[in-house]
Amino acid sequence: MGIVSDVFAGKRYAVLGLARSGLATVECLAGSGAQVVAWDGREEAREAAVDAVQKLSVEVEGDVSLTLGDPAEIDLKGFDGVVVSPGVPLNKHPIAMHAKLAGVPVIGDIELFALARPTLPAHRVVGITGTNGKSTTTALIHHIIETAGIPTRMGGNIGLPILGQDPLPEGGVYVLELSSYQIDLTQSLDCEVAVLLNITPDHLDRYNGFEGYVASKARLFAMQSADHIAVIATEDVPSRTIAAQPGAPRVEVAAADIDPVVQAGWPSLQGPHNAQNAAVAIAVAHALGIDEATVEKGLQSYASLPHRMQRVRELNGVLYVNDSKATNGASTAPALAAYPPVDGRKRLHWIVGGLAKTDNLDECAPWFGHVAQAYTIGEAGPMFAELLRGAMAVDDSEMLSAAVRRAARVAQPGDVVLLSPACASFDQFRDFEARGDAFAAAVAALE
């Protein structure tokens, strides 16, 4: 049934957006005895919410309340909160002003989890934010905690909604990936360990400049109690600025903390970006009291998340790597860095392109010397082909499947064919997962 709490009993909440987290929110609130008004523009989502609450009415004692209605159009006075999906742009959507005029806070499902915490069995929370690397680091920390035999749940911006998962027994650790959007909707999440990986310009359509985006990340640490711990990778200026602010004790880490020889023994954590991810995960594990031997075992046994430097196949001595999640230059650069020349021979075949977020690949440029040949695809293909031709051989492949076939024809044993597009996927694919799946299918079709 997921998390329910007496803290919500008898209260009134409006819920806007009924995708996975919104549906889990409705079930949590209704199952806890709250009065819920919910809405989604999609009829099938509204029907799913009604069905879920009808099932709840069989499982719980007492009345279960759900009314369908658009929170942006009803009178919100007297409500205890409006729970919105992180995808709702608060700087543009009318719900923000409508709720403000009614004196009702606009929150997210993570804030509901924070409110419910005192009624759950004693536990700790690790919250992870940053522009790039959140999902890998969240999954890695979760894996190390599991390796230590500690009960744990992973949620937030990854996997299943945290409210939809069963509460942990006493002594458990919740590991939450937190986007800036989720932090914006959270007022009282006091993480025992809060993590910052890095901050580079992103999502600026939702903020008043880069400073607004940085301020959003900083709020995760402002919510911490003085006796908790902040783990911060201080490899960019905004992160160092946050590390210097007063608050919970800071543990500062960097990719340089990781011995490359030791890192070579962690198959799914190659490259400088994963050195940073590992340095952070090690610091978090120490903060949680996990011993060195267990941490090392977790680092060695960790398996990549799909679409994040995922080893898809090795064929004829050539490794195929799916890094479709790399949707900007900052996230592609570390992937290029992970495969330097061997004995002076460039071995990287780079598939790049899609729907461009910028008109350059400047963040990737330091690693162009690792690339034997680039294969450009999608809407940005011609522009990137022109940009790259002075630095490497380029094949303007247009289609992903063609790029895979062409790379396979010229790659030699010991080479790597890397899909790391540095672009959004929406010109040719539904999302980055569909793009990564298409890459894996094209690789599987090779003989």
Extents of the domains making up the chain: 6-107, 112-301, 310-444
Q: What is the pLDDT of residue 32?
A: 95
For domain 112-301, give the CATH superfamily.
Mur-like, catalytic domain (3.40.1190.10)
CATH number of 6-107: 3.40.50.720
Q: Is the pLDDT of residue 223 over 90?
A: yes
Give the Å distances, CA to CA, from 142 to 128, 170, 338. 11, 17, 24
Give the active site residue among 98, 123, 132, 134: 134
Query: End-to-end alpha-carbon separation of the chain, Å?
Result: 46
Q: What is the pLDDT of residue 90?
A: 86
Give the active site residue among 157, 277, 322, 328: 157
Global confidence as pTM: 0.83
* Fold observed for domain 310-444: Protein-Tyrosine Phosphatase; Chain A (3.90.190)
316 is catalytic: no
The average pLDDT across 24-41 equals 96
Distance CA 104, CA 107 (A): 9
The average pLDDT across 398-426 equals 97
pLDDT one-digit tens code per residue, 356-389: 999 999 999 999 999 999 999 999 999 999 999 9
pLDDT one-digit tens code per residue, 98-127: 999 999 999 999 999 999 999 999 999 999
The average pLDDT across 161-175 equals 97
Q: What is the pLDDT of residue 1?
A: 74
What percent of the chain lies above the pLDDT cut of 90?
A: 87
CA dihedral sign, ordered 329, 205, 254, 299: negative
Distance CA 183, CA 204 (A): 15
Give the active site residue among 203, 286, 297, 357: 203
Residue 266: HSE in the Cβ half-sphere, 13 Å Cα cutoff = 26
157 is catalytic: yes
Q: What is the pLDDT of residue 92?
A: 87
203 is catalytic: yes
| 374 membership: H or E segment, kind and range | strand 371-377
SS3 of 242-311: the string is HHCCCCCCEEEECHHHCCHHHHCCCCCCCCHHHHHHHHHHHHHHHHCCCCHHHHHHHHHHCCCCCCCCEE
